[in-house]
Every structure is written in structure tokens, then in C-alpha cells.
Amino acid sequence: MSSGQGGYADAYRRSLEDPAAFWADAAKGVSWIRKPKQILDESNPPIYRWYPGARLNVCYNALDRHIIEGRADQDALIYDSPVTGTKRRYTYAELLDLTARFAGGLEALGVTKGDTVLIYMPMVPEAVIAMLACARIGAVHSVVFGGFAPAELAVRIDDARPKVIVSASCGVEPTRVVEYKPLLDEALRRAEHQPETNVILQRQQAQAEMGPKDVEWRTLMTPNAVPPAGCVTVEATDPLYILYTSGTTGRPKGIVRDSGGYAVALTWSMKAIYGVGPGDVMFTASDVGWVVGHSYIVYGPLLAGATTVLYEGKPVGTPDAGAFWRVVEEYGVNAVFTAPTAFRAIRRADPNAELLAGKNIQSLKTLFLAGERLDPDTYAWATEKLGVPVVDNWWQTETGWPICANPRGLDDLPLKPGSPSVPIPGYDVQVLGPDGQALEAGQEGAICIRLPMPPGTLATLWQDDDRYVSSYLSAFEGWYLSGDGGYKDEDGYVFVMGRTDDVINVAGHRLSTGSMEAVLAAHPAVAECAVIGVHDALKGQQPRGFVVLKSGVDTPPAQLQDELVELVRAEIGAVASLRRIDVVNALPKTRSGKILRKTMRQIADGAEVMVPSTIEDASVLEALSPILKW
Ligand code: COA
Ligand code: AMP
């Protein structure tokens, strides 16, 4: 393997030869209340625990610590909201003050260590404050992406069972104001579990109607109303948050992140992978509702003592495709991190990057892209227009930080279009065949990670160790199944080709086709249905639905299609982007009744088609082909 300055090869080797020594050393980057003595608990495989017995507070590491170290007046967070015309800077001292006060407010509402708090908010500083406030008092937060509709929110409320929900009156999309409170109220009507209190941030763009259990954010934050909260000591193995992500079924998985391992891994990754340190400015254009937002809008940059930019807007249309360049220039951004879709949208709107002209983006050192496959065209365009390294990194909600990347702080490894480069120290990444044997270079298979995975990766699924083991650790004993397929090349570079299950990635948003099918199947006219993800030039993938009607249904197809599209928007959310639904006579199946989704996807994408020999009736597939190719 080509190793540039050699830093990577050495670190990688050490991390696999002696993980305990490697992560003991990395743990020195974190401020502990009780330092780790034992690094890895291997007593209960396949479940592993990092730093058992050690104690810390993650909020202390993200805020207090930097003030003690002299960064009180440095910007911790810059809020830039083109959709509301607002800009505001928060120094570390200000962010700590607000966080401690909100944490005090949560304590006054009865929230204590180990309680869960659900956060359903748009991209406003209060979302970050609420997350950090939970971390401060040892409460476990669960942020739900604001684009999810009431049904999805209700499932998460019932699983996380929050004592308090923190929300806002609205989110602001470029073309409309999305009122959150009616969505929250509807979710609570559907949920069995009821929180004791809802804290609502009233925003100017819409006033939320308050109910008997609702308290306004500003009431809780009235100066001197409650004492600010200090940091509560937690075990390294205590959960910091739950983050729900789409699985193959309609039931989302509650990824549990521990406190100590995550703090160590993120602190290490900020320097080694992202090359961002104290005083640097990182602009991660994602959403706090996704893992990229948790790790690299909120915790990573703050743990590193850097400045994070919280951007409430889109890459295009707010007001134009030059928005990111404006942010880079205005705040002296050193690292931008977003999804490839954002760059495809910018390129489509401004192919020659004319809006870059006259902008000073010299502060920018690196562009990081993740969340979906980075196609070589977008890679080449971004590299040419920005003139900085474009670093693809591959990871998942489950892992919390990159599995593969080009670690800029460690080395100067070559970049290869189409590959997120090499496995990061701590991750023994192998491509396995169906029999569990590691495949040779160039051969495509299931990308797996040898257990134990490094610190910061999922501890388990929320209150469901069995589902954790059966979903991820059972396919190949001793390995974590990523759900992605791909291969390694001769230099050990990993190429991630896409999911091998029914998870799809639409504009960097991870969605389950299974949950969309559940919504379609609930319509009284639908006998059976299938949803597949097909290639899309802008969003990477788009869902497409196919429904077979019950006999005797005489609703005109166009009306039915509109109803179904509306149903998915209402039940899952507009982000599902299911716009095309075809009414068909039959769905292709195997003799045992399994719908041939993979074959359908291959036909739709114009890929090599593999029709299983177990197909029940080949004429069904033939009849469907023209519709799929359309
Ligand atoms: N709250 C409410 N609605 C939301 C929302 C939110 N937080 N986020 C998106 N939506 C809605 C949008 O308004 C849109 O609604 P519409 O169908 O009525 O127009 C729908 O969900 C789809 O949104 P989106 O996927 O953002 O598509 P788009 O066509 O509006 O914009 C891009 C396309 C490429 C500009 C946009 O997807 C983008 O910025 N992508 C970057 C992805 C990203 O940051 N991913 C995070 C992982 S790193
Ligand atoms: P999420 O959990 O939302 O971060 O989505 C994780 C999934 O997104 C992965 O399993 C991949 O399918 C896909 N993904 C994320 N980053 C990349 C990348 N750099 N290249 C290819 N696919 C990616």
C-alpha cells in the first residue's frame, strides 16, 4: 500500500496489533474524571465495552474544558440561516452559559441521569444546546430528524420513552414553513408513551399553540429562574444518545452510543482524519438529525475546541448555488463536510462554478463528502473547481465515525476516484464471500468489520441486545455486517458499491423501502406492493413504487397514485421523495413468494440483470420491464 509520509501504515498496524495500547493512547485526548484503567472489556462477546470503569462528562469535554484552557471568547458555534435571514455567533463562554441554563431547566422538569429526552427540532442553535444540556446532566438524548412525519416520530417516542420532548414551533424550508407542533401533537396522539413535558421553542415564523403539558423554551431560560446545572459524572459505558436509523424493516433501529468511547474516537478523528484542531472552523452541511450532524456539527468540532458552523439552508436556492462559498469566505472555513448530493445540486445549478468567482475561499483546506457513494464525476468536478483535496469517507449511523477515509492528519495518501480510500485505524475491514471467507482483491462481496470494532461504534440497540446481535453480528461469526457490498483493490483501497439490503439513500438521507411498502400496503385499494431504490442523477437514489390493486377497485390510477404519494409524505415525511408509483398487474416473485426486488432494481438501473432460476412466472417480469426501464 502506498503510504505517503508513512503515518497511516504505522498507526493502522498498531491499532490492529494491540488495540488496547492504541486506544489507551488516544484516550489521553479526553479529560476524564476517573481515567481508564481497563481499556476493552472482552468478557461478553460479541458485545464489547470500551473503557469500563472510567468516568467523564462529554459536555465538560465539549465546552467547560476549552474555557479553562483559554478559549472562552473564541467562537464555538456560528449560526447562519439564510432561510430566516439570521446570523449569530456564540463563544464557548456563551454556549456554556446557555447549555448550563437549559440543563438546569431540564433538571427542574425532573430529568435526571439515565432519563431519555427526545429532540425534534430544525437546524437552530437551541437543538445543539439541548443535546449538550442532556450530555451535561447524563440524560440520554434522541434527536429525530425534523423532516420525519408524525408516524415515524411516534414509533421513536414509543421506543425511547422520553421524559421530556424538546421541539420548536416550526422549521423553515425554502418554499414553506413547516409547523412542527401540530406534527408533534399528532405523533403524541398516536404514541402510547407520553412524556411529562414538552419544551417548545417559539420561532417568529409560526407560533405554536401551547397545551397543558407544554412549556416555552424562553420560560425555562428566564434568567435566574432555575440554577444552571453542573456536569454530572457518567460512566464511559453509559449511553450518550440513541439515534434511530432505517433498517430493512419498517421498525427503525435505536443505535446506542456510549459516552467515553465516542468522546475518544471523535477527538482522535478530528485531528487524524479531518485535520481540524483548536481554533479551526468546520462547516458540516448536514442536519443535527443525522449521524453526520451528531458527530461533525455538534460533538466532534466542539470536542476539538474548533468552531462549528450550523447552517439552516440548502446548497442551492438559499439564495443560490454560491451559498456554500459565501459561508466559507465569511467565516474562514477550513473544512467543509457534506453529502455528494449537495455538490451535484450545486453543479447542476452552476456547472462552471461562476458563483465562485470573486469569492475568497483560501481558508479551505479540504472538502469531505460522505453519506452516499461519491461518483467519480462529482469528485472530479469538485476537485477541479475548488482546487483542494476532496476526501470521500464511508461510514454509517452505526459506527458514528469513519470506517474508511483518507486520513488527512496522519498522512498524504493518494486519492482514488470512486473509493473512500483505506480502512481507518481500529477497523479491520474485509470483503467476505457467502461462506465467510475473505475474498481476494477485486472480488465483490459483503463488506464486514472484524470484532471488536473500535471505540465510538454502536454499543448495542436500545434495550435490545438480541436484535443487535441478530441484525449485525450473526451473518458471520466474529464479524460486523455493514450491509454494504463492495471490494478492495490491490492497494487495499475499499470501493463501496451500495447496500445489499432494502435500505436506500435518497439525497444522503437513509430510508427504508420496507417502511414505504408498509404505508402503501395500508391503503384499502392495494393488494400488494414493492418499493425499490433506483439510480437518480441528483439524489443518488430515488424510490419507485409498484402496486397491484385489489380486484374490483375502480379508482382511476392517476387519482390513486396521488393518494399514495400523499400518504407516504404524511406517514414518513416529504424526505422520502416517493413521487413515482405505477399500478401494475402483478409483481415478479420466486416460487416461494419472495418479490424479486433486486432483479427489478437491476432492470430499472440498466445494470446486468440476474433472474433467479426460482422465478415463478417469467412473463410477469417481461411485462414489467418496459415500465421499470421508463
Ligand atoms: N423538515 C421538513 N421538511 C424537510 C426537511 C426538514 N428538515 N428536509 C427536507 N424536507 C422536505 C423538503 O422540503 C422537500 O419537500 P418537497 O417535496 O415538498 O419539496 C422534501 O423533504 C425532499 O427534500 P430534499 O431531500 O432536501 O430534496 P430537495 O429536492 O428539496 O433538495 C438537495 C435537494 C440536493 C438540495 C437536498 O437534498 C440537499 O441539500 N441534500 C444534502 C443532503 C444532506 O445534507 N444529507 C445529510 C447526510 S450527510
Ligand atoms: P447513514 O447511516 O445514514 O450514515 O447511512 C449509511 C449508509 O450510507 C452506508 O451503509 C452506505 O450505504 C452509505 N454511505 C455512506 N457514506 C458512503 C460513502 N462514502 N460511499 C458509499 N456509500 C456511503
Domains of the chain: 6-313+393-487 (3.40.50.12780), 507-629 (3.30.300.30)
Question: What's the gap in Å between 225 CA and the centre of ligand 2?
Answer: 44
Question: What's the gap in Å between 150 CA and the centre of ligand 2?
Answer: 25
Whether 392 is in the pocket of ligand 2, judged by its Cβ within 6 Å, is: yes
**Closest ligand to residue 296's CA:** 1
Res. 249 pLDDT band, cuts 50 70 90: confident
Whether 64 is in the pocket of ligand 2, judged by its Cβ within 6 Å, is: no
Is residue 335 over pLDDT 70? yes
- Dihedral sign from CA coordinates of 504, 509, 515, 521: negative
Question: What's the gap in Å between 482 CA and the centre of ligand 2?
Answer: 10
Question: What's the gap in Å between 575 CA and the centre of ligand 1?
Answer: 6
Is residue 213 over pLDDT 50? yes
Residues 410 and 402: beta-carbon distance below 8 Å: no
Whether 572 is in the pocket of ligand 1, judged by its Cβ within 6 Å, is: no
Indicate the top mutation candidate among 148, 291, 373, 419 to test ligand 2's pocket, ranked by most ligand atoms within 8 A of CB.
373
Whether 507 is in the pocket of ligand 2, judged by its Cβ within 6 Å, is: no
Q: Which of 131-145, 150-164, 242-256, 326-340 has the lowest mean pLDDT?
A: 242-256
Indicate the top mutation candidate among 173, 296, 311 to test ligand 1's pocket, ranked by most ligand atoms within 8 A of CB.
173
Which atom of ligand 1 is nearest the CA belonging to 122? 7
**Closest ligand to residue 297's CA:** 1
* E strands, 184-248, in order: 197-201, 214-216, 234-235, 239-245
Mean pLDDT over the full length of the chain: 96
425: preceding bond cis by omega (within 30 degrees) = no
Q: Which residue is closest in CA terms to ligand 2's atom 6?
A: 396
Indicate the top mutation candidate among 152, 314, 367, 369 to test ligand 1's pocket, ranked by most ligand atoms within 8 A of CB.
314
Instruction: Tell the burial category of 422 from Cβ atoms under 10 Å away from its Cβ (0-12, 13-18, 19+).
Output: buried
Which atom of ligand 1 is nearest the CA belonging to 538? 34
Question: What's the gap in Å between 205 CA and the centre of ligand 1?
Answer: 19
Indicate the top mutation candidate among 145, 255, 394 to test ligand 2's pocket, ranked by most ligand atoms within 8 A of CB.
394
**Closest ligand to residue 539's CA:** 1
Q: What is the pLDDT of residue 328?
A: 98
Question: What's the gap in Å between 424 CA and the centre of ligand 1?
Answer: 30
The Cα–Cα gap between 584 and 581 comes to 9
Is residue 358 over pLDDT 70? yes
Q: Which residue is closest in CA terms to ligand 1's atom 16?
A: 574
Q: What is the pLDDT of residue 394?
A: 98
**Closest ligand to residue 341's CA:** 1
Q: What is the pLDDT of residue 351?
A: 97
Phi/psi for 538 (5° steps) reads -95, -55
Question: What's the gap in Å between 510 CA and the centre of ligand 1?
Answer: 12
301: preceding bond cis by omega (within 30 degrees) = no
Which atom of ligand 1 is nearest the CA belonging to 569? 17
For residue 52, which of 202, 297, 217, 234 has the smallest C-alpha distance?
A: 234
Is residue 472 over pLDDT 80? yes
**Closest ligand to residue 391's CA:** 2
Task: Mention every residue, 6+ apart, whose C-beta is less than 8 A from residue 191.
Answer: 154, 157, 158
Whether 449 is in the pocket of ligand 2, judged by its Cβ within 6 Å, is: no
- Dihedral sign from CA coordinates of 227, 228, 230, 236: positive
Whether 146 is in the pocket of ligand 1, judged by its Cβ within 6 Å, is: yes
Q: Which residue is closest in CA terms to ligand 2's atom 18?
A: 394
Phi/psi for 137 (5° steps) reads -105, 10
Residues 504 and 533: beta-carbon distance below 8 Å: yes
Task: Mention every residue, 6+ apart, whose C-beta is less than 8 A from residue 280.
Answer: 304, 306, 307, 334, 335
DSSP state at residue 453 = P
Residues 425 and 22: beta-carbon distance below 8 Å: yes
Whether 120 is in the pocket of ligand 1, judged by its Cβ within 6 Å, is: no
Whether 275 is in the pocket of ligand 2, judged by its Cβ within 6 Å, is: no
Whether 509 is in the pocket of ligand 2, judged by its Cβ within 6 Å, is: no
The 10s digit of each residue's pLDDT in 401-447 is 999 999 999 999 999 999 999 999 999 999 999 999 999 999 999 99
Q: Which residue is closest in CA terms to ligand 1's atom 8?
A: 147
The Cα–Cα gap between 463 and 30 comes to 28
Q: What is the pLDDT of residue 4?
A: 43
Res. 5 pLDDT band, cuts 50 70 90: low
DSSP SS3 for 184: helix
Question: What's the gap in Å between 123 CA and the centre of ligand 1?
Answer: 13
Q: Which residue is closest in CA terms to ligand 2's atom 13?
A: 372
Q: Which residue is closest in CA terms to ligand 2's atom 19?
A: 394
Res. 1 pLDDT band, cuts 50 70 90: very low
Q: What is the pLDDT of residue 626?
A: 94
* E strands, 238-334, in order: 239-245, 253-258, 281-284, 307-311
Which atom of ligand 1 is nearest the CA belonging to 338? 48
The 10s digit of each residue's pLDDT in 160-192 is 999 999 999 999 999 999 999 999 999 999 999
Q: What is the pLDDT of residue 493?
A: 98
Q: What is the pLDDT of residue 113?
A: 98
Residues 334 and 307: beta-carbon distance below 8 Å: no
Whether 541 is in the pocket of ligand 1, judged by its Cβ within 6 Å, is: no
Question: What's the gap in Å between 105 CA and the centre of ligand 2?
Answer: 37
Share of the chain above pLDDT 90, in %: 95
Question: What's the gap in Å between 508 CA and the centre of ligand 1?
Answer: 9
DSSP state at residue 473 = I
The 10s digit of each residue's pLDDT in 29-75 is 999 999 999 999 999 999 999 999 999 999 999 999 999 999 999 99
Q: What is the pLDDT of residue 55?
A: 98
Q: Which residue is closest in CA terms to ligand 1's atom 37?
A: 507
**Closest ligand to residue 349's CA:** 1
Kindly provide the b/e burial profile for residues 489-525, where b requires at least 16 CB atoms within 10 angstroms of the residue's own CB: eeeebbbbebbbebbbbbbbbbbbbbbbbbbbeebeb
Res. 2 pLDDT band, cuts 50 70 90: very low
**Closest ligand to residue 499's CA:** 2
pTM: 0.95
